[in-house]
Each structure stands twice: as structure tokens, then as C-alpha cells.
A = this chain, B = another copy of it.
Amino acid sequence: MANPSVEAAPQGAGDANARRDRPPTIRDVAELAGVATSTVSRALSRPERVNPRTRVRIEEAAAELNYIPSSQARGLSSGRTNAVAVLVPDITNPFYFDIIRGTQHQLKAAGVTQLLVDTEESSEMELDALHKMRKSADGFILAASRLTDAQLTEVSQTQPLVTFNRASTSAPTVMIDTPSAIIQALEHLASLGHHKVCYVAGPPTSWSNQMRWKVFEEDATKRGMEVHRIGPYAPKTTSGAAAADAAVRTGATACIVFNDLLAIGMLQRLKARGIRVPADMSIIGSDDIFGADFCNPPLTTISSPIEQAGRVAVSMLLAQLNPLPGSATRKLAVMPTHLTVRESTGPAPA
């Protein structure tokens, strides 16, 4: 631009800004700007540390060369990777997609790379990932962690992390307000005249599963309902058939199901068996995943802003990584829930 004649002779031997075959390094920029690499480095990462005039020169040089700092090298010397790992138990589960979406969004906004890991519902894989990636990520977001409290505590001492849907005394946490949700759901069922209710349990290692059951039992008992529990089931639609059959045998007229996947599976099975929902049995899912609104019948379910939860988790993690002097880091965020009533719940059969 500034020197078209050079453009015209791109192969000039002594060309100062001759295109190297390799991408430009900080050294190229330094040379072009006539400063030392250290100055370039500072101009780019701590602009206030450098004279505005110099900075502008450097920025121009960088722009001209189309310079992009190597995150590898930066990571090596600074110890920071500018990446965050998000660990989910099952990438297959639409529920986690929402959270992944949230984290992805927020991380991207912060210019941080997301490293996605599927831990396959296994605490070993989770620990393993945590260990293996300790140098390649600045922090971790553990969605529905399968770790024990002790493991969690230990890990959180070494690496910055925030847990999602898994209470922890040691690490910041973002949670779904499950108790409130279950109570809302039971209230809804009670108002429809249901007396026999059944909790359809998910994975035993899931903390939120335990929570849900606990609140369910307490509150349903308090209401004088007959409470049943079946499970555990894998949180997949394919487990729904067995769950539906078992649920029917309990004699309950309404089920609160660990998650929507399972609930949708149950819906399918019930339909196949000719058991009408909600006329014969009401079903309440949890999570309001993609599909809950258009399955048949549309599923009454516990909704919460999962994607936003992902964003919040990222914010909390980033706050932990770059603590602002002023603000204390938040240790807990509870996401509100509400019951989205659709067509899978109705009056108890007479």
C-alpha cells in the first residue's frame, strides 16, 4: 500500500518485507517497527506499558504483516494457555449441548478457546482428563461431575475450576434450583389430583439425581402422597421403555423423570403400549431439552436457562482466572427454574 513499487516487484531480493514462506513471528514485527521483540510483546499484551507512538508503529507493523501471536509459544513462556476445558459426561446428550453452547459463546466472547471433552460418565476419565490437560487449559468447567467430594476438593486445589450442577464446597458452582423445581412439579401434580407419584431415577453417580430424589421424597411425603421410586436408568431415550413398563407397574398415576431424554423414551413406550398420556399417566421431564416441545405429546418439564448457566459458569471461571482487585469472586450461582406445562400432564385418572 505505502509502497506500490515494491508490490510491483514482489521477488526483489533485498525486499525488506519480503514475504517469508513462514508466517510472521514477533521478530519480523519488531524488525519492521524498528524495536526489540520485547517491546512488541508488551505493546500487544500490556499496551499501557509502552509509549503510544511506539505502540501505534508496532500495531501498524503487525497489521501489515498480518501477524498473529502463536498461542503455543505464548503459553509456553507465560504459563497460560488461553484455553478452558469443558468436561461433560456425555456429549451425546442434548442437555449438554445447551451448556456447551453457553460456554462456547461466552468463551469465544472472551477470546478463549474451548476444549471439549467427553468423560463418558466415568469419574476415572474425568480425573484423567483433568490431569492430562492441566497444562493445556487454564481452567475447567465440570458439568455434572461424577467425582466424589474428596476428589473434587483435591482437584480444585490444583486447578481453577467451576462445577455445574454439582454442589461443591471447594469450588465455585453454578446450579439449577432443583428443589424449587421439584416442588413446583409436585404442586402441579397435586393440583391435578394425583396421589400416587413415582420418581424415575437417573444415574446413581449423578449428584443432581440424588438431590431430585431427596426433595421429591420429602415433599411428596409431606403432601401425603404415595411415593414410588424406580431406576436407576441410563439417561437415554432407549432406557425409556423399561422405565415406562416399571412405572406402570407401580400403579402411580404420575411420574417425575430424571431427565427429558428418559421421559421422551417413556412417552414413546407408553404410546406403543396404548397407555394414554396424560389421560392414564402424567409425565414430567426435566431440562426442557431440544425436542421437548415437539414430542408427542409435548412434554411438561422443568425448564431452566441452561445455556445461560453455561455462560455464567464461564464468567465465574474467568473471574477466578483474572481476579479483579475490587470484586470478590462469586462462589455460587443458582439458576432459576420453572415448570413448563405442556401436554404430558393432566388430571389424575378417576
Query: Interface on A for B, CB 8 Å cutoff?
Result: 23, 66, 68, 70-73, 75-76, 81, 91-92, 94, 97, 100-101, 104-105, 108, 113-116, 118, 131-132, 134-136, 237, 264, 267-268, 290-291, 294-297
Contacts and interface: CB of A to CB of B under 8 A. Distances in A.
Contacts of A94: 94, 97, 290
**5 pairs of A and B residues whose beta carbons are closest in the complex:** A296-B296, A291-B291, A72-B75, A294-B295, A72-B76
B108 A101 contact: no
Contacts of A294: 237, 264, 267-268, 291, 295-296
A240 to B, nearest CB: 10
Given A114-B116, A116-B114, A267-B294, A135 B72 contact: yes
B76 A104 contact: no
Contacts of A97: 91, 94, 97
Most interface-central of A71, A81, A105 (chain B CB within 10 A): A71
B91 A113 contact: no
B115 A115 contact: yes
Nearest to A134: B23
Contacts of A291: 290-291, 294-295
Given A134-B23, A136-B113, A296-B295, A81 B72 contact: yes
9 contacts: A68-B132, A70-B136, A76-B76, A91-B104, A92-B101, A291-B291, A291-B294, A296-B296, A296-B297
